[in-house]
Structure 1
Amino acid sequence: MGDVAGIGPEVIARAWGDSPLRALARPFVVGSRAVMERALACVGGGATVQEIKQPEDAEPSPRVIPCLEATELDVADVPHGHVDPRAGRAAYDFVITAIDLALQRRVDAVTTLPLNKEALRAGGIVHPGHTEILAERCGVSRHAMMLYIGPPAGAGSSGLGVVHVTLHVPLRRVFDLLTGEAIEAKIHLADQALRPLIGGRAPRVAVGALNPHAGEGGLFGDEEIRIIAPAVARAQAAGVDVTGPIASDTLFGRALSGEFDAVVAMYHDQGHIALKTIGFDRAVNITLGLPIVRTSVAHGTAYDIAWKGRAETSSLIESVRVAARIVSGRRQLGLPVGAS
C-alpha cells in the first residue's frame, strides 16, 4: 500500500475496478483495511474491502478488494498529503510483511506503492527506501534497481531496462563511488535480470560513459580508460553480450533503435531522464539480486495531489504486468519463484 498519506491507497482503489489487474494475477493488498475503505470512498466505484488473515484467503473480484492487515498502528486518521511518522512506520510494516510472504513462497511477487523517505525516518526507520529494506530483509548485499519500460518502448519488442551503478547519492560523490567491481556487478545483474523478460536469450547490454564524448581519449576525464572499459572487458570475457563505454549523447538513441535490451548507467539522472522521458507513466522499478520478485511504481507519494481523485493508475498496472511476466519467464526457464 505504501505511505497512507500519499497516493498509494487511492491508486489501488482506482486501478481495481476498471483495469486488467485481476487478469494478470490474483492480487491482494498488504496494508490497512480502514485506509483502503477510505480510499474507496474517495474514488467511488462501489467495491468493498475483504479483510483476510492469509494470502490463501484472497478472492479478488471487481467488487471485492482483499486486504491483509499488516500494522498494529492506527493509521485511519493520518492526515493526507503530509509527512507523518505513523505513515512512515506503517509503510515499513507493510513491506516487511509482503517480503516475508514472498520469502515463505506464499506469494509469487511483490509490487510496492511509494513510501516517503522523510516519513520513514520520522517513524524510526533508518533505511532510506524500499530497496535497502528489501536487501536487508532478504539478506543480500549485491543488488541494484532497474528502471524498465516494457514493449512498446521503441526498443524492438523487448522493452528497455536501465541499471544504475550509483543511485541516490550526490553527483559529486559519483566519481568516488565508481569502481570497476561495481560496474561489472551491475552488468551481470542486468544480464541475469532481463532473461526472464526476453524469452531466455542473452540480453544485449550497453554501458554508458561518465564523461562527455566518453572522455575523448582522456582529454575530458580518464574514468572510461581506467575503470569502465576494463570492467566491460571482464564481463565480455565472462560471456556477457556487453558493449561500451558509449557516450551518453548517443547511448539511448542506439538503445531505442533496438540495438540493446539494457543500459548500465553510471549515475541516477543519466538513466532516469531518458527512460522517464520515453514513458513516465509506463516506467517500472525492478529490484535485482533478490531471491524474490519485486516491482514498484516509478512515481513518488505525490503529496500535492494525494486523496484528491487525480492519481493515475498506469504505473501500478504496468508494475503488476511486469511482475507477472518475470514470474512466467522464470518458470519457463526453470528458475525458482514464490508460491507454487
Structure 2
Amino acid sequence: MPAKPLALTQGDPAGIGPELTLRAWLERRERALPAFAWIGDPDHLSAIAGRLGWTVPLRTCGWNAACAVFADALPVIPLEAGSGAAIPGKPDPATAAGTIKSIDRAVEAVRSGMAAVVVTNPIAKSVLYGAGFKHPGHTEYLAHLAAQGGVEPRPVMMIWSDELAVVPVTIHEPLRRVPDLLTTELIVETGRIVAAGLRSCFGIAQPRLAISGLNPHAGENGTMGQEDATVVAPAVAQLQAAGIDARGPYPADTMFHARARAGYDAALAMYHDQALIPIKTIAFDEGVNVTLGLPFIRTSPDHGTAFDIAGKGIARPDSLCAALKLAARMAQHAPADAAA
C-alpha cells in the first residue's frame, strides 16, 4: 500500500459519492482498501451517515495524519467552500464551488507530495455548467490543472477491469461525426499515451495493443468503407515503427471474447460504444475510469452521480473500491513519476 493517503474528492454532494465514500470506509477491511482521505464538508458527510443510520466516525485532520487515522475513523480534509445545503437527489449549482475546490485540493495534495494519487467521485457537468464552469468535463479540468508553461497534457480515458481494458479514440461524439474526427495522427497519439501509461503505471514492459477497425469487419477489404485501410492501418504501422506492439485493425465484433482478450493488454476502439459496451457487459460494477497522460495518477468510478438513488443507501461501492485499489496499485508501479 502507498505510504501516503489517496486523495478522494467529494464529487457532487447531492449524488451518491458521499454514501459510496462512507460504504467504502465501512468495508475497508474486508475489501483491503488503501488509506484514503475525503475532501469535503464534514458536516454534510456526517448528515448523510446519520440519514442512513450508519456509524462512521469522522476525523478532521491534515494529510500527514490521514494514514494513522484511517483504521479507526474516516479522515476528512475540510473545505473552506463546503457543500452548502446539499440534499441527496437534488442537484444544486450552489454546491458547484465546493465540488470544484475539492478537485483542486486533491490535485494540489498529489502534486505537492502530500497524497499519493487522485481518486474522484462522480460529478454532474450540467450542475457545474449552471455555475459557470468553462471546461467540457472532469478530465479536461484535470488537464487544465496539470498544465505546465501554459501547455495542457492530452489526457486519454481508459476503462479498466481485471478482465479487459479499453480506450475509445473518440469519446463523447455523435456517431455521424466519428469518421470525420478520426485521423491517423489521433490514433497514433492515443496509442503512444496508452503504451506509455501501461509501462509506467501498470508495470507492463512491452504493452500489447489491439486496434479495432471503424467499420464492420474492419472494412471487408474496402467493401464496407475505406477508413480502415486509409486511416487505421497506417496508424497501426506507425505505432509498430515506433517499437509499440500494436496489431490490427481487427473487426470489433471478434475482439472481446475471452480468447481474444488473452492476446492484448488494452484495446483501442474507434468510438465510445465500440469500447464501452463490451467492458460494461463484462465488468459493469467493477469498471474503473483511468486517466492516462497526466503528470499524476487519477482514477474514478465508472458511473455517474445517480441522483435517482442518492441518499437511499442502495448504491453499490464496487466501482469506487476498485478505483481506490487500482490507484494504489498504480502508485506502487510509479511512486516517483506517474506521468504517462
TM-score (norm 2): 0.90
User: In 1, distance between residues paired with 2:48 and 2:219?
Assistant: 51
CA contact (8 A) 2:254 2:260 kept: no
User: In 2, distance between residues paired with 1:288 and 1:98?
Assistant: 17
Whether 1:97 aligns to 2:105 is yes
CA-CA distance at 1:149 after TM superposition: 0.3
Give matches, 1:301-312, under 5 Å: 301-312=305-316
Alpha carbons of 1:76 and 1:142: their partners in 2 closer, same or farther (altered >3 Å)? closer
- The amino acid that maps onto 2:337 is P
Output one character per residue of 1:124-150: Cα deviation in whole Å (capped at 9) or x when no partner. Answer: 111132101101110133221100002
CA-CA distance at 1:70 after TM superposition: 2.5
Partner of 2:118: 110
CA contact (8 A) 1:209 1:248 kept: yes
Q: 2:236 aligns with which of 225, 232, 235?
A: 232
Partner of 1:157: none
Alpha carbons of 1:20 and 1:204: their partners in 2 closer, same or farther (altered >3 Å)? farther
User: In 1, distance between residues paired with 2:31 and 2:76?
Assistant: 15
Q: 1:15 aligns with which of 8, 24, 29?
A: 24
CA contact (8 A) 1:89 1:124 kept: no
CA contact (8 A) 2:165 2:265 kept: yes
Give matches, 1:271-310, under 5 Å: 271-310=275-314
Output one character per residue of 1:167-222: Cα deviation in whole Å (capped at 9) or x when no partner. Answer: 11222221121111110011111111222565432111100111111111111111
SS of residue paired to 2:334:
helix
User: In 1, distance between residues paired with 2:52 and 2:200?
Assistant: 36
CA-CA distance at 1:257 after TM superposition: 4.1
Partner of 1:262: 266
User: In 1, distance between residues paired with 2:184 and 2:337?
Assistant: 30
Partner of 2:3: none
User: In 1, distance between residues paired with 2:259 and 2:130?
Assistant: 41
- Which deviates more from structure 2 when the two are superposed, residues 19-28 or residues 121-130? 19-28
Output one character per residue of 1:54-95: Cα deviation in whole Å (capped at 9) or x when no partner. Answer: 31132333541111122424x242222123102333211111
CA-CA distance at 1:40 after TM superposition: 1.6
SS of residue paired to 2:108:
helix
SS of residue paired to 2:36:
coil
User: In 2, distance between residues paired with 1:111 and 1:199?
Assistant: 20
Partner of 1:145: 157
Identity %: 39
User: In 2, distance between residues paired with 1:299 and 1:182?
Assistant: 26
- Segments of structure 2 that go 5 or more residues without pairing to the other structure are 1-9
Q: Normalized per residue, which structure has more helix? A: 1
CA-CA distance at 1:311 after TM superposition: 0.9
CA-CA distance at 1:337 after TM superposition: 4.6
CA contact (8 A) 2:289 2:301 kept: yes
User: In 2, distance between residues paired with 1:209 and 1:38?
Assistant: 50
Output one character per residue of 1:14-35: Cα deviation in whole Å (capped at 9) or x when no partner. Answer: 1111234894422110111111
- Which deviates more from structure 2 when the two are superposed, residues 186-195 or residues 316-325? 186-195
Q: 1:176 aligns with which of 176, 180, 184?
A: 180
SS of residue paired to 2:74:
strand
Output one character per residue of 1:232-286: Cα deviation in whole Å (capped at 9) or x when no partner. Answer: 1000000001101111110112665411110011111111110010011110010
Whether 1:45 aligns to 2:57 is no
User: In 2, distance between residues paired with 1:197 and 1:43?
Assistant: 37
Partner of 1:156: none
Alpha carbons of 1:71 and 1:225: their partners in 2 closer, same or farther (altered >3 Å)? farther
Q: 2:252 aligns with which of 248, 251, 260?
A: 248
User: In 1, distance between residues paired with 2:73 and 2:226?
Assistant: 58
- Segments of structure 1 that go 5 or more residues without pairing to the other structure are 154-159
- The amino acid that maps onto 1:18 is E
CA contact (8 A) 1:145 1:286 kept: yes
Number of paired residues? 325
CA contact (8 A) 1:13 1:40 kept: yes
Whether 1:32 aligns to 2:41 is yes
- Which deviates more from structure 2 when the two are superposed, residues 204-213 or residues 24-33? 24-33
